[in-house]
Amino acid sequence: METLVGEFKRRNEEAKAHRSRLLAAWQKVTRYVLPYSGRYYQSERDKSVAFAPILDNQAAWAHDVLVAGISAGAFPQSMPWVGLRLKNSKTEEGGIGAEYCDAVADVIHATYSQANVYPSLRHCVSEMSAYGPGCLIVEEHEENILHLHKLTAGEFCFERDFDGYVSALFREFTSTVGAVVDQFGYDACRQDVQIAWDQKKYGQEVRLLHVIDERKRRDPSLDDNQNMPWRSVYIDLASSDTEPPLRESGYPFMPVLGPRWSVIGSDTYGTSAVLRAMGDISGLQHKHTRLGESIDRMTRPATQGPADVEEVQTLPGSHTRTNGGARIEPIGVSVLPLQHLKELIDDDRMRIARALYADVFQAFLGDQRSGVTAREIMARTQEKVQGMAPVLNNIDHELLRPLVKMTIWFLAQRGMLPPAPPELGGEEMEIEFVSPLFRAMKAEQSRGTMQLLEMIAQLGTVPGWDHVRDRA
């Protein structure tokens, strides 16, 4: 019979095999856009990914603009963005329900201000827009209510359920003997780790596997860690399948947020804005390489000369000795069409900016026209934001909404929510986001509905189309 450790090791290898087709593309993102993100090495702790110098940082700049725009527009730290309302609109009309919802939202915003929520959300959006999936682990924190652990591409694998939500997380990471013994205890560690501890080799590396998945078999009448709906298991990858895990605990809900930038079908990891522009991004670096080579050919061309001259001095003011009238001449010097190459580079830069939505968030920076009205600016903004509606929907349903629900649960467990008025009678609340990006998206959707109704009303005035007006 397969043991728990053996099961998780097998499932981890299966998840890694499923993810392996994406690693080559993710490594290109790390090389050309985010050189300090992504983890693809397992042999050394905290090993930085080797990468060549980025010759043109257009993609990195456009990605930064995209992440900053979404962060400021979807979850701005300077203004409230979480809205709550009661499901029963009649209860809301009395005013008491609205006041209570606003009070709960204020507590949520105060909690986010003291925790590491905003830098973690920004990191997650950065990973989503670059690689496709983002990953955050939400843990309860003694002082700050909650704490978000940030993961990067290459160090985690997912399993998803029928609805597309994360059902299992597999995370391989490297720790040290000292950290493992402090975290899990001396007796829980395998013999080699205990020997290293006894020999004071506290910095020796230990490879661990952390798994979070649904506990299929449990006793619902018990609320201890071994019977919670979700389990968290730490395993020493060097241990045998028959050895027990380092620790098994549990969660009352799935603490992993695994949002995706864009999803096609049942894709586990999705795709991203950067991956869609990778052809232009890699082509831009290639053209810069050729541009540099062309400049070198014109300024420092290859030479030919007497056979007895072993070394040619090419630095300014240098002197090369030759016999008699022998000369050292350049080979095939020609003026290359650099301007045409620069135009191709500019085309790549423009396409990259558009693919990464830089024009959405910087649409008016270069607009020097006078007399541009606020209504015109709002209309143009709404049209551009509408193109990002699928991405904003994913951020809503796979990232922000689950995070708010977890936050409310943590606050309720600690008794930190304001007491509900008895008039509400246990009425449930709904989450709605009131940040600028979500408001602009809803406004554009409402405008489309109004235009449809106006068209139907106009059709009702046409002879023979009276039934359209009546049914509308």
Question: How many Cβ atoms from other residues are within 10 Å of residue 157's Cβ?
Answer: 25
Name the CA dihedral angle for 385, 386, 390, 392, rounded to a multiple of 10 degrees. 40
| Strands 303-304, 329-330: pairing kind | antiparallel
What pLDDT score does 143 carry?
92
Question: How many Cβ atoms from other residues are within 10 Å of residue 451's Cβ?
Answer: 10
**326-335, 349-358, 422-431: range with lowest mean pLDDT:** 326-335
| Strands 247-251, 82-86: pairing kind | unpaired
Mean pLDDT of the 85-112 span:
81
Note the pTM of the prediction, 2 decimals.
Answer: 0.83
Judge contact between 96 and 423, C-beta under 8 A.
yes
Furthest CA-CA distance within the chain: 108
Reported in sequence order, the residue ranges of 323-428 that DSSP labels E, i.e. its strands, are 329-330
What pLDDT score does 219 carry?
84
* pLDDT surpasses 70 at 331: no
What pLDDT score does 7 carry?
94
What pLDDT score does 373 carry?
61
Helix (H), strand (E), coil (C) string for 49-68: CCCCCCCCCHHHHHHHHHHH
Highest mean pLDDT, choosing among 26-40, 80-94, 176-190: 176-190
Query: Distance (Å, rounded) from C-alpha 367 to C-alpha 177?
Result: 58
